[in-house]
Amino acid sequence: MNTVTLTVKKAPELFLECEKVNPDAFVGKTADQIAQLPAFQGKEISTLGDYFTVAGDAGATAAETRIVINGDCTKMKYIGAKMTGGEIIVNSSCDMYTGSWMTGGKLLVKGDVHSFSGLAMKGGEFTVEGNAANYLGAAYRGDWRGMSGGVLRVKGNAGSDAATFMTGGTLIVEGNVDIHLGTHMEGGKIILKGNANRRVGGQLVKGEIYVFGTINVMMPGYKPVGEVDLDVDGTKAKFIDYIGDLGERHPKRKGETVYGHLYMKK
Protein backbone atom coordinates (compact mmCIF):
# COMPACT_ATOMS: atom_id res chain seq x y z
CA MET A 1 0.00 0.00 0.00
CA ASN A 2 1.36 3.42 -1.01
CA THR A 3 1.31 6.14 1.66
CA VAL A 4 0.64 9.81 0.99
CA THR A 5 1.39 12.12 3.93
CA LEU A 6 -0.36 15.47 4.20
CA THR A 7 1.02 17.93 6.73
CA VAL A 8 -0.95 21.09 7.50
CA LYS A 9 1.20 24.15 6.78
CA LYS A 10 -1.52 26.81 7.01
CA ALA A 11 -4.86 26.85 8.85
CA PRO A 12 -7.83 28.21 6.86
CA GLU A 13 -9.33 31.50 8.00
CA LEU A 14 -12.86 30.09 7.67
CA PHE A 15 -13.42 26.37 7.01
CA LEU A 16 -11.74 24.37 4.27
CA GLU A 17 -13.83 21.87 2.29
CA CYS A 18 -11.54 18.90 1.65
CA GLU A 19 -13.73 16.64 -0.49
CA LYS A 20 -10.68 15.57 -2.49
CA VAL A 21 -8.88 14.25 0.59
CA ASN A 22 -9.77 10.60 0.06
CA PRO A 23 -8.00 7.66 -1.61
CA ASP A 24 -10.36 7.71 -4.61
CA ALA A 25 -9.33 11.24 -5.60
CA PHE A 26 -5.63 10.46 -5.12
CA VAL A 27 -5.54 7.29 -7.29
CA GLY A 28 -2.54 7.17 -9.65
CA LYS A 29 -1.36 10.68 -8.79
CA THR A 30 2.07 11.93 -7.78
CA ALA A 31 2.63 14.23 -4.81
CA ASP A 32 2.75 17.25 -7.15
CA GLN A 33 -0.53 16.27 -8.81
CA ILE A 34 -2.22 15.74 -5.44
CA ALA A 35 -1.10 19.20 -4.35
CA GLN A 36 -2.99 20.66 -7.34
CA LEU A 37 -6.35 19.11 -6.38
CA PRO A 38 -8.99 21.71 -5.48
CA ALA A 39 -10.10 22.72 -2.00
CA PHE A 40 -12.74 25.32 -1.20
CA GLN A 41 -12.94 28.04 1.42
CA GLY A 42 -16.30 29.73 0.99
CA LYS A 43 -16.40 30.83 -2.67
CA GLU A 44 -12.62 30.84 -2.94
CA ILE A 45 -11.09 27.97 -4.91
CA SER A 46 -7.70 26.93 -3.57
CA THR A 47 -5.58 23.81 -3.88
CA LEU A 48 -4.57 21.21 -1.33
CA GLY A 49 -1.00 22.41 -1.81
CA ASP A 50 -1.99 25.84 -0.46
CA TYR A 51 -2.74 24.27 2.93
CA PHE A 52 -0.73 21.03 3.04
CA THR A 53 2.72 19.84 2.18
CA VAL A 54 2.34 16.59 0.27
CA ALA A 55 4.80 13.70 0.40
CA GLY A 56 4.52 10.35 -1.36
CA ASP A 57 2.65 9.08 -4.40
CA ALA A 58 -0.73 7.35 -4.39
CA GLY A 59 -1.36 3.74 -5.34
CA ALA A 60 -2.90 2.49 -8.57
CA THR A 61 -6.28 1.99 -6.85
CA ALA A 62 -8.07 3.40 -3.82
CA ALA A 63 -7.50 0.11 -2.00
CA GLU A 64 -3.75 0.52 -2.48
CA THR A 65 -3.66 4.06 -1.09
CA ARG A 66 -3.16 5.17 2.51
CA ILE A 67 -3.41 8.85 3.53
CA VAL A 68 -1.83 10.09 6.77
CA ILE A 69 -2.73 13.63 7.86
CA ASN A 70 -0.65 15.52 10.41
CA GLY A 71 -1.41 18.91 11.91
CA ASP A 72 -4.56 20.75 13.04
CA CYS A 73 -7.62 19.75 10.95
CA THR A 74 -10.28 21.21 13.27
CA LYS A 75 -11.42 23.66 10.56
CA MET A 76 -11.37 21.14 7.71
CA LYS A 77 -14.57 19.48 6.43
CA TYR A 78 -15.41 16.41 4.34
CA ILE A 79 -12.20 14.48 5.01
CA GLY A 80 -12.83 10.91 3.86
CA ALA A 81 -16.27 11.77 2.49
CA LYS A 82 -17.47 9.30 -0.18
CA MET A 83 -14.35 7.14 0.09
CA THR A 84 -14.77 3.63 -1.34
CA GLY A 85 -11.54 1.98 -0.23
CA GLY A 86 -8.05 2.45 1.11
CA GLU A 87 -7.19 4.01 4.44
CA ILE A 88 -7.06 7.45 6.07
CA ILE A 89 -5.44 8.23 9.41
CA VAL A 90 -6.01 11.73 10.81
CA ASN A 91 -3.76 12.65 13.73
CA SER A 92 -6.05 15.47 14.81
CA SER A 93 -9.67 16.44 15.28
CA CYS A 94 -11.81 17.22 12.20
CA ASP A 95 -14.73 19.43 11.32
CA MET A 96 -18.15 18.52 9.87
CA TYR A 97 -19.02 15.72 7.39
CA THR A 98 -15.95 13.62 8.13
CA GLY A 99 -16.45 10.15 6.64
CA SER A 100 -19.90 11.00 5.32
CA TRP A 101 -21.34 8.81 2.56
CA MET A 102 -18.32 6.48 2.75
CA THR A 103 -18.89 3.04 1.24
CA GLY A 104 -15.63 1.26 2.01
CA GLY A 105 -12.11 1.46 3.39
CA LYS A 106 -10.90 2.46 6.84
CA LEU A 107 -10.98 5.91 8.40
CA LEU A 108 -9.37 6.63 11.77
CA VAL A 109 -9.60 10.03 13.48
CA LYS A 110 -7.35 10.33 16.51
CA GLY A 111 -9.34 13.21 17.93
CA ASP A 112 -12.92 14.55 17.80
CA VAL A 113 -15.30 14.99 14.87
CA HIS A 114 -17.92 17.68 14.43
CA SER A 115 -21.59 17.32 13.44
CA PHE A 116 -22.86 15.21 10.53
CA SER A 117 -19.86 12.88 10.52
CA GLY A 118 -20.51 9.40 9.14
CA LEU A 119 -23.63 10.85 7.50
CA ALA A 120 -25.52 8.22 5.44
CA MET A 121 -22.54 5.86 5.75
CA LYS A 122 -22.96 2.72 3.60
CA GLY A 123 -19.85 0.66 4.31
CA GLY A 124 -16.30 0.53 5.59
CA GLU A 125 -14.90 1.11 9.06
CA PHE A 126 -14.87 4.54 10.68
CA THR A 127 -13.30 4.94 14.13
CA VAL A 128 -13.21 8.14 16.21
CA GLU A 129 -10.90 8.02 19.21
CA GLY A 130 -12.37 11.18 20.74
CA ASN A 131 -15.93 12.56 20.82
CA ALA A 132 -18.51 13.12 18.11
CA ALA A 133 -20.95 16.02 17.89
CA ASN A 134 -24.58 15.93 16.70
CA TYR A 135 -26.15 13.87 13.87
CA LEU A 136 -23.53 11.13 13.90
CA GLY A 137 -24.35 8.48 11.29
CA ALA A 138 -27.66 10.20 10.61
CA ALA A 139 -29.56 11.19 7.48
CA TYR A 140 -28.81 14.36 5.56
CA ARG A 141 -31.17 17.22 6.46
CA GLY A 142 -34.50 16.61 4.70
CA ASP A 143 -33.60 13.04 3.69
CA TRP A 144 -34.91 9.78 5.22
CA ARG A 145 -31.85 7.61 4.53
CA GLY A 146 -29.36 7.46 7.34
CA MET A 147 -26.55 5.01 7.99
CA SER A 148 -27.16 1.77 6.07
CA GLY A 149 -23.93 -0.21 6.41
CA GLY A 150 -20.42 -0.41 7.78
CA VAL A 151 -19.16 -0.01 11.33
CA LEU A 152 -18.90 3.39 13.01
CA ARG A 153 -17.23 3.40 16.43
CA VAL A 154 -16.80 6.41 18.74
CA LYS A 155 -14.61 5.80 21.77
CA GLY A 156 -15.80 8.94 23.54
CA ASN A 157 -19.22 10.62 23.74
CA ALA A 158 -21.71 11.59 21.03
CA GLY A 159 -24.18 14.45 20.83
CA SER A 160 -27.86 14.47 19.90
CA ASP A 161 -29.71 12.81 17.00
CA ALA A 162 -27.18 10.04 16.37
CA ALA A 163 -28.30 7.36 13.89
CA THR A 164 -31.47 9.20 12.82
CA PHE A 165 -33.23 7.15 10.10
CA MET A 166 -30.67 4.35 10.44
CA THR A 167 -31.48 1.35 8.21
CA GLY A 168 -28.38 -0.85 8.58
CA GLY A 169 -24.81 -1.15 9.78
CA THR A 170 -23.49 -0.88 13.32
CA LEU A 171 -22.95 2.22 15.44
CA ILE A 172 -20.95 1.82 18.67
CA VAL A 173 -20.60 4.67 21.16
CA GLU A 174 -18.40 3.76 24.10
CA GLY A 175 -19.26 6.89 26.09
CA ASN A 176 -22.55 8.75 26.60
CA VAL A 177 -25.07 10.24 24.17
CA ASP A 178 -27.51 13.12 24.30
CA ILE A 179 -31.18 13.00 23.22
CA HIS A 180 -32.79 11.31 20.20
CA LEU A 181 -30.60 8.26 19.70
CA GLY A 182 -31.95 6.04 16.91
CA THR A 183 -34.98 8.16 16.03
CA HIS A 184 -36.98 6.79 13.05
CA MET A 185 -34.72 3.73 13.02
CA GLU A 186 -35.68 1.05 10.47
CA GLY A 187 -32.81 -1.40 10.81
CA GLY A 188 -29.23 -1.80 11.91
CA LYS A 189 -27.65 -2.03 15.34
CA ILE A 190 -26.70 0.59 17.94
CA ILE A 191 -24.49 -0.28 20.90
CA LEU A 192 -24.26 2.35 23.63
CA LYS A 193 -21.83 1.49 26.41
CA GLY A 194 -22.49 4.61 28.45
CA ASN A 195 -25.64 6.52 29.38
CA ALA A 196 -28.34 8.17 27.28
CA ASN A 197 -30.21 11.34 28.14
CA ARG A 198 -33.73 10.55 26.88
CA ARG A 199 -35.87 9.78 23.81
CA VAL A 200 -33.96 6.67 22.80
CA GLY A 201 -35.51 4.80 19.87
CA GLY A 202 -38.39 7.18 19.27
CA GLN A 203 -40.52 5.95 16.31
CA LEU A 204 -38.26 2.91 15.92
CA VAL A 205 -39.75 0.33 13.51
CA LYS A 206 -36.98 -2.25 13.15
CA GLY A 207 -33.43 -2.71 14.42
CA GLU A 208 -31.67 -3.24 17.72
CA ILE A 209 -30.42 -0.84 20.38
CA TYR A 210 -28.23 -2.09 23.24
CA VAL A 211 -27.71 0.18 26.26
CA PHE A 212 -25.12 -0.77 28.86
CA GLY A 213 -25.71 2.25 31.09
CA THR A 214 -28.90 4.12 31.94
CA ILE A 215 -31.57 6.07 30.06
CA ASN A 216 -32.60 9.23 31.86
CA VAL A 217 -36.20 8.99 30.64
CA MET A 218 -37.46 5.85 28.86
CA MET A 219 -39.82 6.34 25.90
CA PRO A 220 -43.38 5.26 26.80
CA GLY A 221 -43.75 3.09 23.70
CA TYR A 222 -41.54 0.25 24.95
CA LYS A 223 -42.75 -2.93 26.61
CA PRO A 224 -40.50 -5.38 28.52
CA VAL A 225 -40.91 -8.95 27.25
CA GLY A 226 -38.24 -10.85 29.19
CA GLU A 227 -34.55 -11.24 29.86
CA VAL A 228 -31.86 -12.61 27.54
CA ASP A 229 -28.18 -13.51 27.83
CA LEU A 230 -26.21 -11.82 25.04
CA ASP A 231 -22.64 -11.30 23.84
CA VAL A 232 -22.51 -7.68 22.69
CA ASP A 233 -19.26 -6.31 21.28
CA GLY A 234 -17.24 -8.76 23.33
CA THR A 235 -19.19 -8.35 26.59
CA LYS A 236 -21.37 -11.19 27.86
CA ALA A 237 -24.23 -10.01 30.07
CA LYS A 238 -27.94 -10.31 30.85
CA PHE A 239 -30.21 -7.75 29.20
CA ILE A 240 -33.87 -6.79 29.67
CA ASP A 241 -35.57 -7.06 26.27
CA TYR A 242 -38.05 -4.31 25.35
CA ILE A 243 -40.07 -4.24 22.12
CA GLY A 244 -41.21 -1.04 20.47
CA ASP A 245 -41.81 1.64 19.52
CA LEU A 246 -45.40 0.44 20.04
CA GLY A 247 -46.76 3.76 18.83
CA GLU A 248 -45.53 3.04 15.30
CA ARG A 249 -46.93 0.87 12.52
CA HIS A 250 -44.85 -2.30 12.24
CA PRO A 251 -44.53 -4.73 9.32
CA LYS A 252 -45.57 -8.36 9.54
CA ARG A 253 -43.55 -11.42 8.64
CA LYS A 254 -45.36 -14.76 8.30
CA GLY A 255 -48.34 -13.28 10.08
CA GLU A 256 -46.35 -12.01 13.06
CA THR A 257 -45.65 -8.35 13.83
CA VAL A 258 -42.01 -7.33 13.60
CA TYR A 259 -40.82 -5.01 16.36
CA GLY A 260 -37.58 -3.27 17.09
CA HIS A 261 -35.73 -4.24 20.24
CA LEU A 262 -34.20 -2.14 22.98
CA TYR A 263 -31.94 -4.14 25.28
CA MET A 264 -31.03 -2.71 28.67
CA LYS A 265 -28.11 -4.30 30.53
CA LYS A 266 -29.06 -5.43 34.05
Q: What is the 3-state secondary structure (H, E, C) of 124-176?
A: CEEEECCCECCCCCCCCCCCCCCCEEEEEEECCCECCCCCCCCCEEEEEECCC
Mean pLDDT of the chain: 97
At residue 249, the pLDDT reads: 86
CA distance 78 to 115: 11
Q: How far is CA 165 from CA 93, 94, 95, 122, 145, in A?
A: 26, 24, 22, 13, 6
Amino acid identity of residue 186, one-letter, is E
User: Tell me: the pLDDT tens digits for 192-247?
Assistant: 999 999 999 999 999 999 999 999 999 999 999 999 999 999 999 999 999 999 98
pLDDT at position 82 is 98
* Domain locations in the chain as residue ranges: 112-265
Confidence of residue 121 (pLDDT cuts 50, 70, 90): very high
Statement: residue 254 has pLDDT above 90: no
Residue 144 has pLDDT above 90, yes or no: no
Residue 6's alpha-carbon distances to 22, 30, 31, 249, in angstroms, are 11, 13, 10, 50
Q: What is the mean pLDDT of residues 149-166?
A: 98
pTM to 2 decimal places: 0.96
